[in-house]
Amino acid sequence: MSSLVKCPHCGLRPREEFTIRGEVPTPRPAAGADESVWFDHVYLRDNPRGQHREYWHHSGGCRRWLVLDRNTVTHETGDVVDASTLKSEGRA
Amino acid sequence: MRDFPLNNVSPFATMPDGQAHGAIHIAPVRTGFVFHVLGQATGTIDQTRQQQLQKMMDAIAPDLGGELRVLSPGQWFWVGENDVSQGRFGEIAGQLPGEFALSDQTHGRVRLRVTGARVCDVLAKGVMIDLDEGIFGVGQSAMTQIGHIGAMVTRLDRDSFEITVLRSFADSLWHELHHMAAEFNGPHS
Ligand SMILES: [Zn+2]
């Protein structure tokens, strides 16, 4: 087993239980925003070196979408929260 | 509510109970029920809500018994040992408050039991959770995977586990578990 991820609902689980969707592009543009802003939001990614926020789906466990802090250099994972918390904070 | 009858047939029907004398016993659970309870999706597993739901269940269906096994925030499996008729299921589903939906998964999620002194050594080959008793104690359940097959693992006792798996994966898992247990059961047991 490789990296362990602490799911807020299920506890420590190996990464094999998860499906990774990719970067959390925030903030989400307004519905009527310019097409280029939406293009950027939907298609363009920064691929940063260091801290990175990603959507992970706990497909082999609770099946909730999570948001995970990961360091792209060390692969260390930090905060893991349920993705719905971003919605309530207006950050998704 | 479905408008056609479901015919529950065990996926293990033709399999002989061949390891009755082995150190690890793997057996299908052929009776009882599995109901999927869906509540409001929230961002956290709410223990208070679960206790309230358990009270409602006890009031609505004291004949069923059984327990709630948490699957995800706002989702549970209600599992018990008594057989439930489809008419009775309809009554119960109708009596639960509107915020909960009930789905009879007795045909879709099948159960099997794995028991024996070395059962943790067998399961550790595939399950993705720590089976140490201090971490995963008696009565606890976890939705996880056994190899690539998604399954709910419940600790019934120190050396006894119940595994709930989707019916279509049950046969594969059955064979996988026998492979995992083979070193403890020997070729002729
Ligand atoms: Zn989870």
Distance from CA of A55 to the nearest CA of B (A): 15
Distance from CA of B31 to the nearest CA of A (A): 26
Q: Do B33 and B49 contact (CB within 8 A), yes or no? A: no
Q: Which of B72, B130, B150 sits opposite A9 (nearest CB)?
A: B72
Please tell me if residue A23 touches chain B, with a CB cutoff of 8 Å: no
Q: State the pLDDT at residue A14.
A: 94
For the segment B19-44, the average pLDDT, to the nearest whole number, is 87
User: What top-level class would CATH report for the domain A4-24+38-89?
Assistant: alpha beta
What's this model's pTM, rounded to 2 decimal places?
Answer: 0.89
Classify burial at B180, counting beta carbons within 10 Å of its beta carbon; exposed 0-12, middle 13-18, buried 19 or more.
buried
- List, run by run, the mean pLDDT of 10-residue segments along chain A (92 residues): 84 94 85 94 89 94 94 89 81 55
pLDDT at B188 over 90: no
What ipTM does the predicted assembly reach?
A: 0.86
Domains and CATH numbers, chain B: 16-31+107-189 (3.30.1360.120), 33-105 (3.30.70)
Q: Quick one: tokens of B62? A: 């004291």
pLDDT at B185 over 90: no
Please tell me if residue A63 touches chain B, with a CB cutoff of 8 Å: yes
pLDDT band, residue B150 (cuts 50/70/90): very high
pLDDT at B91 over 90: yes
A17 and B71: CB-CB below 8 Å? no
pLDDT at B38 over 90: yes
Among residues B50, B64, B68, which one has the least CA distance to residue B92? B64
Contacts of A74-79 with CB under 8 Å at 24 or more apart are A75/A3, A77/A3, A77/A5, A77/A6, A78/A51
pLDDT at B113 over 50: yes
In angstroms, what CA-CA distances link A79 with A6, A7, A76, A83, B42? 9, 10, 10, 12, 19
For the segment B110-139, the average pLDDT, to the nearest whole number, is 95
E-assigned strand segments in A4-74: 4-7, 11-14, 19-23, 51-57, 65-71
pLDDT at B125 over 80: yes
A62 and B43: CB-CB below 8 Å? no
Protein residues with C-beta less than 5 angstroms from the ion ligand 1: A 7, 9-10, 58, 61-62
Rounded to whole angstroms, the Cα distance separating B109 from B132 reads 26
HSE-CB for A31 with a 13 A CA cutoff: 0
A9 and B128: CB-CB below 8 Å? no
